[in-house]
Amino acid sequence: MFAPDELTDDGFLGGRLRVLQPGRGYRAATDPVFLAAAVPARPGQSVLELGCGAGVASLCLAARVPGLRLAGLEVQPAYAELARVNAARNGVSLEVVEGDLAAMPPVLRRSFDHVIANPPYYPAGGGTGATDPGRERAMREDTPLGLWIEAAVRRLAPRGILSLIFGADRLPDALSALDARMGSIAVLPLQAREGRAAKRVILQSRKGGRAPFRLLPPFLLHEGACHEGDGESFTPPAAHILRNGGDFPFRLI
């Protein structure tokens, strides 16, 4: 487990959430906040987060939608314990289970209305390895992306919705892993600035959905052609999500 002096106390959603994170390990940034904002959950529904880390995505979703039944699966015990602590200190009921999604713990072998995940960014053997083992495990694929998607689909109830955020270069892998059980696929590119290629995408799909595939216009994160000065440059819609816990100005599916 992490010692107190290894942790930082970070604010999310304009300080509405206070989250303990390791100073040198895997640290959540904007991806889990955008993921949570995209989930079309309603009060009373159930949500499973695969690879919940310190719990940021689930906590952001709870802040936006009250009355959810939240569960998280995390393979690293120290991060699972952090997620429990963070849920408690923010007054959120979050069932955190330690385990590997490739061998789903029996307690989570039930159906959920939503499954969400922010899978590791780098494929096995890609990129430069992190010196911190927790960050390396969180950022580099150990379990193939296809198995993440298979585990999610198995846990979805009929008409349930899968929501993922990941690197745009992994989109072909994700689409190929979605079989005939899933449909109504929508992909939202997250574009850092005008004129730049999107490096992240949000993908949603409904179990048993039949709507045609949709590629949405890019969602612009920053104003201006480049970062200038020390201030933030988020567009108003992006700032509304990151600072106010707001929704995207549209639904993906």
Residue entry with tokens 């289970």: 97
Residue 164 is part of which domain span? Answer: 4-244
In a domain, 216, yes or no: yes
What single-letter DSSP state applies at residue 108? G
At residue 128, does pLDDT exceed 80? no
Distance CA 161, CA 98 (A): 23
In a domain, 174, yes or no: yes
In a domain, 134, yes or no: yes
Nearest to 204, CA basis, from 153, 249, 242: 153
Residue entry with tokens 């307690």: 107
Nearest to 247, CA basis, from 172, 179, 163, 176: 163
In a domain, 251, yes or no: no
At residue 40, does pLDDT exceed 90? yes
In a domain, 203, yes or no: yes
In a domain, 91, yes or no: yes
Which pLDDT tens digit goes with each residue over 208-253? 999 999 999 999 999 987 766 556 899 999 999 999 999 999 999 9
At residue 140, does pLDDT exceed 90? no
At residue 137, does pLDDT exceed 80? no
For 52, what's the count of Cα atoms within 13 Å in the CB-facing half-sphere? Answer: 33
Residue entry with tokens 């209305």: 113
Q: Which residue has the higher pLDDT, 161 or 228?
A: 161
At residue 127, does pLDDT exceed 60? no
Q: Provide the number of structural domains found in the chain.
A: 1
Quick one: pLDDT at residue 135? 44
In a domain, 218, yes or no: yes
At residue 138, does pLDDT exceed 50? no
Which pLDDT tens digit goes with each residue over 20-31? 999 999 999 999
Q: What is the mean pLDDT of residues 68-77?
A: 98
pTM summary value: 0.91
At residue 42, does pLDDT exceed 50? yes
| Number of other CB atoms surrounding residue 123 within 10 Å | 15
Q: What is the mean pLDDT of residues 98-121?
A: 96
For the domain that residue 225 is a member of, what is the CATH number? 3.40.50.150
In a domain, 102, yes or no: yes
Please name every residue paired with 98 in a beta bridge, in sequence order, or none if there are none.
Answer: 74
Cα-only R_g, the chain: 17
Nearest to 21, CA basis, from 189, 113, 135: 135
Token pair for residue 95?
Answer: 């069932």
pLDDT classification of 122: cutoffs 50, 70, 90: low
Token pair for residue 233?
Answer: 């440059």
Q: What is the mean pLDDT of residues 107-135?
A: 75
